[in-house]
Structure 1
């Protein structure tokens, strides 16, 4: 039921956003053409309940213009166009809903699956909305058994086909990160918690490449020399928000970053092979050299396993 409501909210936002200005009657006309409707219209009271829920959950305000008739519109459409969670919601859930409605196109539209979001994302968002803790049964990759404990959900983040929960652990008295695909069970409690006004999710991840926030690594200036067509790829899709192109030459470019060079960032650099070279800091360049030499050792004896 919660998943169905979530899909209805996204459909409603997407419909109004694309129309720019639309009457309630026009919304209903489009709604009854979807399979979600079951051929039934949206009661006006239900529509206004959806408007309120959308504002509370997603901070998306559906306004109403009374001049020349009652027209509904997205008040903060500019924010959606700039990106962030609103843009993601439209580009992911709205497209997914459309695909589900267009059965004959399903085999012609391919996209990445994020299995971890299927069961736990909706109840987590509801718990965040209601300001209550959640009880997790969680098994990290480093443990043989799952443990059950309570956390205060602060925010969620998607990275590399996995959803992550950022939550404060009362037991450890610190903010920790949990992967949704390692959760065995999740249940919202009735215990309220105070979401700290000082916690800003974007600021929390500001100097992280991906999901790792490790303060043992200092925020440093990293310079990469990038070769060939890889330069164009990074110009089109930067590795990090702080990316700046500081030099451009024949067949190469130099990019600078300000971040914590954690494990996930090193793995990202390795994935680009000989098209990316670390210029600085010196310790990261040396660490990359060691990684490359270790990789070379795996292939030094010819066929795999011949040692």
Structure 2
């Protein structure tokens, strides 16, 4: 049920966004003819009003009704919506999915990466965040042989490399953890509520991280410099798709550039740098350069006779 409701919410937001404004009758008719409406349902006016309120509360959007323009419903401040990465991602993902669904003859010509399970948990986690409800989680960590069950207060969710993650506070251990949704074995909403801390800022929480690892207790934020060759247009690739928001091209030469980052030197960042092979070289700090040298030597030993 939650999944179906979420799909309708996104469809309505996308319709308001792409049309620039639409009347209730036009929207209801569009839903009746939409391929997303696989149940052949309708949207009565009272139901639409309920959806409108839920959308405003869930996505922090304002929807106005412009009486001077044929009583059309519009998204307020659509420009800020374009700049919001989460909302923009949701809308773009739905728009692409809707386009593909309506072009089924191209099904065999549009290929996607397989995304691990976890979407059902995502819907319930979002519901829990909306209502500030504690969830009961059964989770299988890679670091333990058996799953564990514990209460969790969901603070935020984040997607990274085709996987969804949840940041949640464990009240039993009084600590914050990061949990991959595809490793959740069971998730139940409880009747217990929690107070979301006003001091928690999801964007700030990950600001100094690459990916999903946040380790302020173990590591300090470092200024990391890497040398990127012009071979295979690698530096052009990084200019177009920065590895991190802190990326700066601090030196530019005829055949290479130096890029600088400010972040935690975590395992997932190391893996990303290694994935670029010999086209990327870590210059400093020296201890991180040494770490990479040891990693590369370990890799080389795998191939020596």
TM range (shorter): over 0.9
Contact 2:136 2:190 survives alignment (8 Å): yes
Per the normalisation by structure 2, the TM-score is: 0.95
Aligned to 2:8: 8
When structure 1 is superposed on structure 2, of 158-167 and 56-65 the one drifting more is 56-65
Residue by residue over 1:136-172, the C-alpha shift from the partner in whole angstroms, topping out at 9 and shown as x without a partner, is 1111012111111101000000111111010001122
Query: Residue 209 of structure 2 aligns with which residue?
Result: 208
Please state how far the C-alpha of 1:95 moved relative to its aligned partner. 2.2
Is the Cα–Cα contact under 8 Å of residues 17 and 73 in structure 1 kept in the other structure?
A: yes
The structural deviation recorded for 1:193 is: 0.1
Moved >4 Å (runs of 4+):
none
For this pair of structures, how many residues does the alignment match? Answer: 301
How big is the alpha-carbon RMSD for the aligned residues of Structure 1 and Structure 2?
1.4
Supply the distance in 2 between the matched residues of 1:108 and 1:72 (Cα, whole angstroms).
Answer: 36
Determine the structure 2 residue equivalent to 1:222.
224
Aligned to 1:283: 287
TM-score by length of 1: 0.94
Give me the whole-angstrom Cα distance separating, in 2, the residues matched to 1:186 and 1:105: 36
Gaps of 5+ in 2: none
Q: Secondary structure at the match of 1:5?
A: helix
Q: Which sits farther off after the overlay, 97-106 or 9-18?
A: 97-106
User: How far has the Cα of 1:31 moved from its partner?
Assistant: 1.2
Matched residue SS, 1:35: coil
Q: Which residue of 2 aligns with 1:305?
A: none
**How far apart in 2 are the matches of 1:133 and 1:97?**
33
Compared with structure 1, are the counterparts of its residues 288 and 113 closer, same or farther at alpha carbon in structure 2 (3 Å cutoff)? same
In the alignment, which residue of structure 1 is the partner of 2:146?
145
Q: How far apart are the structure 1 equivalents of 2:70 and 2:92? A: 30
The alignment status of 1:236 with 2:237, answered yes or no, reads no
Matched, 1:35 2:35: yes
Q: Within 2, Cα distance between the matches of 1:4 and 1:106?
A: 23
Please report how far the alpha carbon of residue 97 of structure 1 lies from its aligned counterpart in structure 2 after TM superposition: 3.7
> For 1:73, what is the secondary structure of its paired residue?
strand
- Contact (CA 8 Å) 1:133, 1:151: kept in 2 or not? yes
* 1:260-283 C-alpha deviation (Å, 9 max, x unpaired): 111111111111110111111111
Partners of 2:212 and 2:11 in 1: how far apart?
29
Q: How far does residue 40 in structure 1 lie from its aligned partner after superposition?
A: 4.4
Q: Is the 8 A contact 2:168 2:178 kept in 1?
A: yes
Shift of 1:256: 0.7
Residues 93/117 of structure 1: CA separation in 2 closer, same or farther (3 Å cut): farther
Contact (CA 8 Å) 2:66, 2:73: kept in 1 or not? yes
**Residue number in structure 1 paired with 2:161:** 160
Range 212-221 or range 30-39, more displaced? 30-39
